[in-house]
Structure 1
Amino acid sequence: MKRIAIFASGSGTNAENIIEYFKSSRDIFVDSLWSNNEDAYALIRAEKLDVETFTFDKDDLYRSIEVLETLSDRKIDMIVLAGFLWLMPVNLTGEFTTINIHPALLPKYGGKGMYGRYVHEAVIKNKEKESGITIHYVNERYDSGSIIFQSKCPVVATDTPESLAERIHQLEYEHYPRVIEEVLLKEDDESDF
Structure 2
Amino acid sequence: MKKIAIFASGSGSNAQNIIEYFNGNRNVIVDSLWSNNENAYALIRAERLGVETFTFSRDEFYHSIDILDELTDRKIDMIVLAGFLWLVPRYLTEEFPIINIHPALLPKYGGKGMYGHFVHEAVVKNKEKSSGITIHYVNEKYDEGNIIFQANCDVEKSDTPDDVAQKIHLLEHEHFPRVIEEVLYQGQD
Two-structure CA RMSD over aligned residues (Å): 0.7
> How far off its partner does 1:24 sit?
1.3
Instruction: State the distance in 2 between where 1:25 and 1:7 align.
Output: 20
User: How many residues are treated as equivalent by the alignment?
Assistant: 189
TM-score by length of 2: 0.99
- What letter is aligned with 2:70? T
String of CA shifts for 1:61-87, please: whole Å, max 9, x gaps: 110000000000000000000000000
SS in structure 2 at match of 1:186: coil
Q: Please give the residue correspondences for 1:44-83 in structure 2 after superposition, counting only pairs within 5 Å.
A: 44-83=44-83
SS in structure 1 at match of 2:185: helix
SS in structure 1 at match of 2:69: helix
- What letter is aligned with 2:110? G
| Runs of 5+ consecutive residues of structure 2 not aligned to the other structure | none
Q: 2:139 matched to 1:139?
A: yes
Q: Counterpart of 1:102?
A: 102
Q: Counterpart of 2:161?
A: 161
> How far off its partner does 1:158 sit?
1.0
Instruction: State the distance in 1 between where 2:3 and 2:58 align.
Output: 24
- Which 4+ stretches in 1 moved above 3 angstroms? none
Q: Report sequence identity in percent.
A: 72
Instruction: State the distance in 1 between where 2:56 and 2:109 align.
Output: 28
Q: 2:118 matched to 1:118?
A: yes
Instruction: State the distance in 2 between where 1:146 and 1:52 align.
Output: 30
Q: Counterpart of 1:175?
A: 175
Q: 2:151 matched to 1:151?
A: yes
Instruction: State the distance in 2 between where 1:78 and 1:45 align.
Output: 20
| Runs of 5+ consecutive residues of structure 1 not aligned to the other structure | none
